[in-house]
Amino acid sequence: MRRYFSRKLLIYGLTFFVAVTVNWMIPRFMPGDPVASMVARANVNKPEAVEAMRAYYTGLFGLDQPLWQQYANFWGALLRGDFGVSIWLFPTPVSEVITRAVPYTLALIVPSVLLSWVVGNRFGAYAARRRLLDNTVLPVGYVLTAMPYMWLAVLLAWAFGVILGWFPVAGGYSFSMRPNWSVTFLLDLLHHWALPFLSLFLVALGGWAIGMRNMIIYELESDYSNYLAALGAPSRLIRRYAFRNAVLPQITGLALQLGVLVAGALVTEIVFAYPGLGSLILKAIQNKDFFLLQGTFLFIVLGVLIANFIIDIVYVVVDPRTRAGMAGAQA
Amino acid sequence: MSLLVSELKVHYRTLRGDVRALDGVTFGLRDGEILGLVGESGCGKSTLGKSLIRMDGRMRRAGGTVVLDGRELPIDDDRAMNAFRFREVSLIPQYAMSALNPTRKLRRMVGELLRSRGAPLDAEELERRMSQVGLPREVLDRYPIELSGGMKQRMVMVISTLLDPSLLIADEVTSALDVSTQKAVARALLGFRERGYVKSMIFVTHDIALTHHIADTIMVMYAGRLAEKAPADVIVKKPRHPYTRLLLDALPEVGVRYADRRLEGIAGSPPSLLDPPPGCRFRARCPIAGDECAEDPPVAELTPGHHVACWKV
Amino acid sequence: MSALQEVAPPERAGVRREALYFAVRNGKLMAGFGIVLVLLLLGLLGPVLFTDAPNEYGPQPMSPPSAEHWFGTTTFGQDVFTQFVHGLRSTFAVGVVGGGIAAVIGMLVGFVAGYRGGVVDEILNMLTNVILVIPTLAVLLIVNAYLGIRSVAVQGLFIGLTQWPWAARAIRAQTFSLRTREFVDLARMSGAGTGRIIAREIAPNMSSYLFMTFILLFGGSVLIASSLDFIGLGPTEGVSLGLMLQNANQWSALQLGLWWWFVPPGAAITAVVGALYVANVGLDEVFNPKLRET
Amino acid sequence: MRNRARIMIPLVAAGLLAAACSGGGATPTPPASQSQSQGAPAGANPDQLPRNETLYTTGTQWGPPPNFNPIREWDSAVGTKGLVYETLFHYDPNAAKLNGWLAESGSWTGDTTYEVKLRQGVKWSDGRPFTAKDVVFSFELGKMETIPYHHLWDWLKAVEAADDQTVTFTFAKANYQQWDFNLYTRSIVPEHIWKDRPEKEVLDGINENPVGTGAYTFLSKDQDRVVLQRRDDWWGKTALNMEPKPRYIVDIATPSNEVAMGMLLQKGLDLSNNFLPGVANLVKGNFGLTTFYNEPPFMLSANTAWLVPNTTKKPMDDPAFRKALASSVDVKKIVEGVYGNLVKAASPTGLLPQWDAYVDQGVVSSSGFAFDPAKAKKLLADAGYKDGDGDGYVENKDGSKIGLTLIVPSGWTDWMESARSISASAKAAGIQITPEFPDFNALVEQRAKGDFDLLINNERQLSNSPYTYYEYMFQLPVQKQQNTVNFARYQNEQAWALVQDLDQIKTDDAEGMKKVISQLQQIHLDDMPVIPLWYNGLWAQSSTSVWKNWPAAAGGAPKTGAVMWRNWLELGGFETLTQLQPAAS
């Protein structure tokens, strides 16, 4: 067990190192000079003042130091939890900008990923080898999973928001509300959360349903299923076993899909003006706020790594074979 | 008679038409009898084994009946068959190595299986039977992946016979095992009969030598039909059907070594069962075939219990 | 099935003929490939038949679908159908380039890691895992910003370069199970080199699997490209379905009632990718008789 | 597994609630510091704002509010200057005059001294009185080198408080035009809070709990909004007899125009200062939306978009070529095709309609230009640009090919479409222009270094004087980096001298101003350092569902701009708020 996890941790550590390095490199590769654009946006029209501001910001951001020094500083700051100061939202620290946005993204992504996974697996398992369902539910699944996230999101926003007026089309909660712990406010949060959640949920749902349907057909045709059938076991039991075994590759699939799901969430947030990381990244791109970009990407990488690790643990708990293998290795 | 199969015809639906995998087979099985079912690949022995417990989706009964302990088996009605499976007819599959759900501990799996069939798990009895085949009780708290191949095989044998079925079909159970394990399996099967866990048994194999050790009666099939059926000694010592003789001649020394491939070592190949020509199906390969062989040979009982389908006997 | 094989011992040609036989009778496969083919032809021939430059302004802005403008026109009077056929072409291009490159890298890494095992496997596996978790968007962003010129081909190239890890993983696992087979042993004993064994023995034996992997990579590339286009990281030259979506959205097409501008590109992406996925399941059934419906 | 999944669903739901709520709960500013001192009325901190007392606006801020620092006039949270902090004067572009605000009056007491009389009874939101010391302190902040109005001290000598209500400014050189601009632009901050702040804090501080003199205070902020609450003890209620009608103003950061349009249609938004393409259709339809005009151009004009040639490069260094280029651009097609008539074609001088009085029609009729491909061709031919190789495009005089690129920022869709349109119409005149869309940052750098052929720019807004317009056009000397003005790098000492002369003319001397401006127009039209294209709108789409009496051209409606943009609240944006009426009444 220790070997298994230390291996995994090594991989994740390496990934993090690479990600940090890549992130550090982002601004050094980007065209344009962030200080120049920042100064340009400040309406200073006296050359002397411009030079003063430029020198000031360059010093502040450490761009005048040698590269290795910048790199070392970057790691040092990172370990202190200091991601620098946002240029776009100057002078707010990046870590603060991110912490404010993260709850929204998590609230969107965690339930939609988990629920779509659970429900999709159920659907797929249920539809497999049932002709009527297989021919009705699954085509819908294919269509859903093939949809571009933002297309569905925009259509939903238009239909349920603008036309029917059932749901708001922007914001994390009503613009007339102030956060508090009342039921009204919680319902309001859910109200705003519903459409972005739904579009993420639906697209992911189709993928899981199809994955599970294909997986479970393999399992239903497997030897242990045939043996149980030959012993007259009811199909309920056989399906239960098949489901349990088909879920294992789906768990791995969840880990593999995380990156795609995160990207989907970001795009969806943009469509619904949901105040999470997605909207932030878009603006960071548009404003060339590389400190913010670095921060968000690092955060996403970290999130994905943690999620991967959790999935690893879950997998070990769920699949006896990994545990058995490890027990054997220890003995 | 424990089992009575008469004129059983089972066809496979394929793209090019029906394959007559089983084309009118009649035989009986006494209480306590072990029948060895031999023949080369594609002779219909596996189809027969499957038909008696669970047809797969492409199999179809084209005629004939199967009666077990006086009740007709609804072999082509998957649901109705469920009542008979496990309790009346049971199976030790060819794929015993992978027959156990990999993600359940055995105790739980056996318990769930039994409960689903409305039978309580008698843990003591289970452990007793396991120890009879040399499985320690700790095995029950393991996952299948933690067992060796032989252990899995024995575990499947124990599970399949837990409800004391009347008829046990052992489908090629030894083909994947080495010789000493084969012997152990054979001994275990005999033990099952002695202790009354199973009444009668059909032992499907292409290993005529091993069959001789275990079976009371041996039935040789060829191209979907019965060629010869007789007590084991008679088949081995005084075979009458030319096919049986060729089979035995191909073996260097009966009972010493099995030689799987030799069975197919006879020149030529069986006719296509898609649309088989009339007459004796062995005709084309038969060294003594004559004109009369153009017609279907009847099954004749030469001596009591010795049935042969050949014009030349 | 085992009974079938017993009756008629398989030959390679026979297997192929049988696959073809099942292929033409597989509704999923035929419907899927049918849709893809129709859209592909539209994308290939459309731009030739409707030679209008797709971004040309027309005299009738915001007009609904009609005989003259099959899919209506945009706010600027551009013909949506003309953009649509051009967009289809770039969408297929991105899919082929992105999916193709990802498949090639995935195969190389997967084959070598799976066949060689040992240290090579360890290193490649680690590389795969590292790239697998890094969000694709980050890399694509740097590239887009750095290169400035964003053609469809370059977009496809970089999608391909970031998308291969899962394919490599899957192929590695398959190769792993194949490498201990008899025929591979035989080839090894006869002194064939790694490359030769992979090319001659392993790859052909999982060709159907590879093909299906490519289909999935193709679909993935198309979806990623549309997302990038939508965020504004799409190709600056030409038209793609994702860019159409972005434009329609930016110019509030739906709110202004120009549904014919927003709906077709998304529907076409969905149709192409969805049809490919359906065809993929169909293929799986053809190559894998156990999955055929009984 | 079955049971586990069943448990999982409620668990996830509960987790979401917790996550979402902590998301919301973590963000609001503690309101205590603001409400404690302002004599908060009952219900000052409602959890739910009453719709009929709340104004929802958007179109200024595109992301989380970054800071509340009025010194940062370019990126502070909406309302920081204008609603929370105030200026000495407001400017009325319609009447072309300064209106006293924190200052009751101001006048030149000598050629180089200006005296401001402050209002009595003005209080900071923390209850301390506002005095002349605060004004002196605020202007002296400009002595810090990085403060945006540092250059004021090039010609300002001293600021002194004669008494609590009087401030005297003494100048080394009286730049009357610029001074008026500063009078209504610079925020006054409280000395007692700001005095110990170091330079870094003054320029870069977030100023978390702003204390101003204005009619509003910040009630809360979040990722996508700021909420402002009206001060019921605001001095202007009695002194100006004005009261902004909305008790609450919620400014929403919408990430994009189409989201704003969706919200406007949902009636969740009262005022959108976004550019909403196609909004003309909605105004004509029955959607409850109004704009200033109910016909093209629908909007007031806010700034001029120019085509800027790099005059240091061939052939843009040739005025004849620039004039030909000017005649080749079909602005009408852009106005109609790209903007759907939401903008207005610019006059040849490019001076905003509000400055019409300064346009010398004589100069325009003799030297002006219009879209005329034939004339453009003739101008080119006359100047020696000929299509020698027959590829449809003219070549340089030395026969080398002309292939110009026109850069606009990637993602600025309307400008991208406009650039394509310009390229197409220039082609008709034989000029080869390829549109390119680098990202904004890259463009800023290219622009600053002069590493471009052509670009589109509109970075000068409406102001109190055409002085700012011509300063943009002619400012010298040309630096290695041109960050804000004269991107064309046009060098004309005479023109720059004239601009400085203009600055020296008193702002009430309209005739004197016109005389200088007429000369500047002549130079502009003769030399074409920049080519005016169209007037960008003061984008303002209002919904009449909750608030009415929005500014409109017709009838007795207010004529001010309905706008929340930074630096526009002093130009009539605030006055608009005081004119609103609840729709229900």
Which one-letter amino acid corresponds to residue B308? V
The pLDDT of residue C193: 79
| High-pLDDT (> 70) share of chain B, % | 93
> Do the domain assignments include residue C36?
yes
Distance (Å) from the alpha carbon of C59 to chain D's nearest alpha carbon: 9
Which residues in chain A touch residue B90, judged by CB atoms under 8 angstroms apart?
A: 230-231
Which tops the pLDDT comparison, D246 or A172? D246
The pLDDT of residue D25: 34
Inspect the interface and report whether the beta carbons of C2 and B19 lie closer than 8 Å.
no
D504 touches chain C (CB under 8 A): no
> Do the domain assignments include residue B18?
yes
| Burial of residue A188, with CB atoms counted within 10 A of its CB: 0-12 exposed, 13-18 middle, 19 or more buried | buried
Q: Looking at the 3D structure of chain C, how many domains does it have?
A: 1
> Do the domain assignments include residue B164?
no
3-state SS, residue D308: strand
Rg (CA), chain D: 26
The pLDDT of residue D43: 46
Closest CB to B103: pick one of A226, A234, A320: A320
Q: Pairing between strand D454-457 and D404-407?
A: parallel
> What homologous superfamily is domain A96-328 in, according to CATH?
MetI-like (1.10.3720.10)
Contact D541, D291 (CB under 8 A): yes
List, in order, residues 6 or more apart from C228 with CB less than 8 Å away: C140, C144, C155, C159, C234, C242
**By CA distance, what is A39's nearest residue in D?**
D483
C199-257 tens-digit pLDDT: 877 888 788 788 888 988 999 899 988 988 887 777 766 788 998 998 888 888 888 88
Residue-wise burial string across D81-117, b where 16 or more C-beta atoms lie within 10 A, e elsewhere: bbbbbbbbbbbbbeebebebbbbeebebeeeeebbbb
B222 touches chain C (CB under 8 A): no
Distance (Å) from the alpha carbon of C157 to chain D's nearest alpha carbon: 20
Inspect the interface and report whether the beta carbons of A91 and D204 lie closer than 8 Å.
yes
CATH code of the domain covering residue C177: 1.10.3720.10
Q: Looking at the 3D structure of chain B, how many domains does it have?
A: 1
The pLDDT of residue D101: 95
A189-234 tens-digit pLDDT: 889 999 999 989 998 898 888 888 888 888 888 889 999 999 988 9
Q: What length is written for chain A? A: 331
Contact B20, B11 (CB under 8 A): yes
Chain A, chain B: beta-carbon pairs less than 8 Å apart: 79
Closest CB to D258: pick one of C232, C249, C257: C249
Contact A194, A167 (CB under 8 A): yes
Inspect the interface and report whether the beta carbons of A231 and B160 lie closer than 8 Å.
yes
Inspect the interface and report whether the beta carbons of A103 and D20 lie closer than 8 Å.
yes
Distance of CA C134 to the CA centre of its chain: 21
CA distance D368 to A152: 51
CA distance D399 to D379: 17
CATH code of the domain covering residue B228: 3.40.50.300
The pLDDT of residue D14: 45
| Burial of residue B72, with CB atoms counted within 10 A of its CB: 0-12 exposed, 13-18 middle, 19 or more buried | exposed
**What single-letter DSSP state applies at residue C290?**
G
pLDDT at C99 over 90: yes
Closest CB to C3: pick one of B15, B47, B272: B47
* pTM for this prediction: 0.80
A57-76 tens-digit pLDDT: 677 667 777 878 888 888 88
Closest CB to C278: pick one of A25, A142, A154: A142
Domain boundaries, chain A: 2-79, 96-328
The pLDDT of residue B281: 87
**By CA distance, what is B103's nearest residue in A?**
A320
| High-pLDDT (> 90) share of chain C, % | 18
For residue B58 the two structure tokens come to 């492409």
C2 touches chain D (CB under 8 A): no
Q: Which of residues 149-188 of C touch A (CB under 8 A)?
A: 166, 169
Chain B, chain C: beta-carbon pairs less than 8 Å apart: 26
> Do the domain assignments include residue B131?
no
- Which range is least confidently modeled, D77-81, D262-266, D500-504, D522-526? D262-266
User: What's the rounded mean pLDDT across residues D187-196?
Assistant: 95
Distance (Å) from the alpha carbon of B212 to chain C's nearest alpha carbon: 24
Please give the C-alpha separations between residue A52 and each of A36, A39, A46, D138, D483, in angstroms, as whole numbers.
12, 10, 10, 20, 13
Interface confidence (ipTM) of the complex? 0.77
The pLDDT of residue A5: 79
**Chains touching chain C at 3 or more Cβ pairs under 8 angstroms?**
A, B, D
**C-alpha dihedral sign at D76, D82, D87, D92:** positive
Inspect the interface and report whether the beta carbons of C3 and B272 lie closer than 8 Å.
no
Q: Best residue in A8, A145, A150, A279 to probe C by mutation, most C CBs within 10 Å?
A: A150
C244-293 tens-digit pLDDT: 998 888 888 888 888 899 999 999 999 999 999 888 888 887 877 666 65
Inspect the interface and report whether the beta carbons of A46 and D23 lie closer than 8 Å.
no
Contacts 24+ apart (CB under 8 A), B239-245: B240/B302, B240/B306, B240/B308, B240/B310, B240/B313, B241/B282, B241/B308, B241/B309, B241/B310, B241/B313, B242/B282, B242/B286, B242/B287, B242/B288, B242/B310, B242/B312, B243/B282, B243/B285, B243/B286, B244/B220
Contact B15, C18 (CB under 8 A): yes
> Do the domain assignments include residue B274?
yes
Give the residue among D469, D245, D459, D445 at the shortest CA–CA distance from D352.
Answer: D469
D17 touches chain A (CB under 8 A): yes
- Which range is least confidently modeled, B49-58, D396-405, D418-427, D547-556? B49-58
Domain range enclosing B295: 3-88+200-309
The pLDDT of residue D2: 39
The interaxial angle of helices C118-133 and A290-318, nearest 10 deg, is 120
Domain range enclosing C155: 22-48+83-292
Across A305-309, B87-91, C21-25, D478-482, the highest mean pLDDT is recorded for B87-91
Inspect the interface and report whether the beta carbons of C146 and A264 lie closer than 8 Å.
no
User: What's the rounded mean pLDDT across residues C67-78?
Assistant: 82
Contact C121, C113 (CB under 8 A): yes
> Do the domain assignments include residue B79?
yes
> Do the domain assignments include residue C67?
no
B165-219 tens-digit pLDDT: 999 999 888 776 777 778 888 888 999 999 989 999 999 987 787 888 889 999 9
Give the residue among A34, A24, A30, A97 at the shortest CA–CA distance from A281.
Answer: A97
Which residues in chain C touch residue B42, judged by CB atoms under 8 angstroms apart?
A: 3, 6-7
3-state SS, residue D478: coil
D349-389 tens-digit pLDDT: 999 999 999 999 999 999 999 999 999 999 999 999 998 88
Which residues in chain C touch residue A150, judged by CB atoms under 8 angstroms apart?
A: 226-227, 230, 245, 249
Please give the C-alpha separations between residue B230 and each of B28, B234, D411, D538, in angstroms, as whole numbers.
11, 6, 89, 105
Give the residue among A245, A277, A246 at the shortest CA–CA distance from A262.
Answer: A277
Distance of CA A118 to the CA centre of its chain: 17
Q: What is the mean pLDDT of chain B?
A: 85
Closest CB to C250: pick one of D337, D413, D421: D413
Distance of CA D335 to the CA centre of its chain: 21
Which residues in chain A touch residue B85, judged by CB atoms under 8 angstroms apart?
A: 230-232
Which residues in chain A touch residue B105, judged by CB atoms under 8 angstroms apart?
A: 320
> Do the domain assignments include residue C284?
yes
The pLDDT of residue A52: 66
Distance (Å) from the alpha carbon of A223 to chain D's nearest alpha carbon: 22
A131 touches chain B (CB under 8 A): no
> Do the domain assignments include residue C213?
yes
Which residues in chain A touch residue D148, judged by CB atoms under 8 angstroms apart?
A: 42-44, 49
> Do the domain assignments include residue C105?
yes
D2-24 tens-digit pLDDT: 344 444 444 444 444 444 444 33
For residue D471 the two structure tokens come to 């300063």
pLDDT at D228 over 90: yes
Chain C, chain D: beta-carbon pairs less than 8 Å apart: 51
User: What's the rounded mean pLDDT across residues C172-188?
Assistant: 78
> Do the domain assignments include residue C13?
no
CA distance A221 to B273: 26
For residue A27 the two structure tokens come to 């601004």
CA distance B149 to B156: 11
**Any idea which residue has 């199970």 for tokens?**
C177
D508-558 tens-digit pLDDT: 899 999 999 999 999 999 999 999 999 999 999 999 999 999 999 988 899
Q: Pairing between strand B167-171 and B200-204?
A: parallel
> Do the domain assignments include residue B260?
yes
pLDDT at C69 over 60: yes
pLDDT at A159 over 70: yes
> Do the domain assignments include residue C122?
yes
